[in-house]
Chain A
Amino acid sequence: MKTILFAIGNNARQDDGLGWAFGEALERGGLFDGEVHYRYQLEVEDSELVSNAGRVIFVDAFKGELPNGFQWDKVEPTADFEFTTHALSPQAVLFFCEQLYAKRPEAHCLLIGGEAWELGEGLTHNSTNNLLLAMEFLKEKLGIAGNKVPQPIDIEQVTAR
């Protein structure tokens, strides 16, 4: 079953880069056998990409407190459209996928708590910790955790400050 992970955010806006940092760290680990796609925002054409996957994971920063520093939610197709179709929600992408391609992959959102959103590269210390917790969780979910799995996080790359 092909897994697609969408790393969503803006790495020029501090913790809004959590999604991208997560995707990069996962890829550096070398054991994730799915595809990672980096997005500032989800678009209509992502529904075509999603239609080729059995499982989809949307990883994005979350503005606010989360009990464990991250949150894992199942996502269902929903006609969840905002004022503009310039940026779509994961639910809306799945909705397009179901309507246009008659496909309904298993889908989850992994939200990671952040706290700083100004112009600037790098993550805050707390959000980096949240990212590490979320990474351990996902590795276990995907069955790529274990002693033989090297720690995928490069702290110098996922800059804590």
Chain B
Amino acid sequence: MNKVVIEPVTRVEGHGKVTIHLDDEGRVKDSFFHIVEFRGFERFIQGRPYWEVPVLVQRLCGICPVSHHIAAAKAIDQLSGLDPVDLSPAATKIRRLLHYAQVFQSHALHFFYLASPDLLFGVDAPVEKRNVVAVALENKELAKKGILMRKFGQEVIRVIAGKRIHGIAAVPGGVHKHLSIEDRDYFLSGKDLPNVDTMIEWMMEVMAFIKDYHGKNAPWLDSFASYPSGHLGLVNANDGSLELYDGRLRAIDADGNRTLNDIRDVDYLQYFAEGVEPWTFLKFPYLRHLGRENGWSRVGPLARLNVCDSIGTPLAQAEFEIYKNYTGGKPNNHTMHFHWARLIEMLHCAEVMQALLHDPDILSDDILRRGERRPEGIGIVEAPRGTLIHHYQADEKGMITRCNLIVSTTHNNEPMNRAVRWVANNVLSGQPKLTDTLLNQVEIAIRAYDPCLSCATHAIGQMPLQAVLYDAAGNVLDERLKNGN
């Protein structure tokens, strides 16, 4: 049997390896998306004081550390005897502002820096053009706005957490500081930074771009790596609207039937199990009652817009209605529509940030609550790439005794494998030779989900990109080496 190896996947932060197994006629026999690194946070967090956890676990990721910080903080609140409703309005709103800023900046990174080359230049573009450099050179205004949108989100994070990456904002029972009037005005005045109103204005321009793009490229976007699947995400506990910070877990199947009916996040363990495979370190979460084969779900923007009933901000709601109408109100199973959904979420985040920045509660010094210690805490948020679960137990001295993390990329493990298999079956199969175009389509499929494998696994340094074609005996038939050391 022949074997194609692509290692690692470019513009996917972290390590990834794809193997595609061909038969003697060059047809795809099978394919796998491997995660070959081990992260180990669940083990080495044990024995640490519970209040250290939100600071330590954010080191899981340099792109979305805030999501880990917030998920851990929600869990640690419970270890401190506090549920989300027990926190002060100021603490909840400051955390929410931080989290929505994180999603905003991370989505900007994903779309403008990592995914836009795929859309702007197409799968046939030469490899030297499929990167943000080419985007910057050929689409300067888009690039400049992308940079400033990411910067806006990062600046909100910096002001609240002290640093853009790995700062500290949440503490058990609240946050460690409130915003000052000067902090708030920095984001409202527009004097030193394009203000939040400008973010919304620019997002509307980007929405016009993506809708136009979909109109012109519908056949590709509607078919590429598309397949039916379940979808999972948080929804607002009161009205089922899109929720990123705190809500109920909802899942649907490919036809829209509820498979998980708005359960409390602290009850997740009753409903979820994780499968393992010998060829990857990444687990495969699934809904227990549906089993390993049928219980897996996509997570992230596509899934969130499938499970929610509405969006709680007016401009994003209007875009959501257009988006839902495209599939006649049915679940959207088009992988390449992740990007459209992602941009609607960015617009929503900008609107939420605007509302919170005008809310006087973020200036209040009522930011901390105290409770009675508990032995267990579970925090679930919607990270940029999907549902993120942090679960901790601590002994009577407050030392962590057990930790379980299910990150977004883990949920999307099976879906990404399915996407790779789609490309293998529909694009690679029968091709006589490896080409950049073919290999890039494997990456495009993965990139639609998740440019960040590092939080699910581990990544250090720079790695080569290698594609190798083996024959049945393990001899190299064809080899492609992209940039790298």
Contacts and interface: CB of A to CB of B under 8 A. Distances in A.
Contacts of B150: 45
A149 B242 CA distance: 57
B36 interface: no
B144 A100 contact: yes
A100 B13 contact: no
B154 interface: yes
B474 interface: no
B483 A44 contact: no
A44 B147 contact: yes
A84 B482 CA distance: 11
Contacts of A82: 462, 483
Contacts of A84: 10-11, 462
Contact of B147 (A40, A48, A85): A48
A48 B148 contact: yes
Contacts of B143: 100
Contacts of A85: 11, 113, 131-133
Contact of A83 (B13, B137, B464): B464
Nearest to A84: B462
Interface residues of A, number: 16
A45 B132 CA distance: 12
Contacts, number: 50
Contact of B10 (A48, A83, A101): A83
Contact of B165 (A40, A48, A96, A100): A40
A100 B141 CA distance: 8
A40 B148 CA distance: 20
Q: How large is the interface on B (under 10, 10 to 19, 20 to 34, 35 or more residues)?
A: 20 to 34
Interface string B126-165: 0000011100110010011001101100100000000001
B465 interface: yes
A86 B11 CA distance: 8
B147 A83 contact: no
A44 B140 contact: no
Interface in A37-67: 40, 44-45, 47-48
B271 to A, nearest CB: 36
B485 interface: yes
B485 A83 contact: yes
A160 interface: no
A82 B150 CA distance: 22
B368 interface: no
A125 B62 CA distance: 30
Nearest to A92: B133
B77 to A, nearest CB: 28
Nearest to B462: A83
Contacts of A86: 13
Nearest to B62: A40
B136 A99 contact: yes
14 contacts: A40-B165, A44-B136, A44-B147, A45-B148, A45-B150, A48-B144, A48-B147, A82-B483, A83-B463, A83-B465, A83-B484, A83-B485, A96-B133, A99-B137
Given A48-B151, A84-B11, 15 more contacts: A44-B147, A45-B154, A81-B131, A81-B133, A82-B462, A83-B10, A83-B464, A83-B484, A83-B485, A85-B133, A96-B136, A99-B136, A99-B137, A100-B144, A101-B144
Interface of A: 40, 44-45, 47-48, 79, 81-86, 96, 99-101
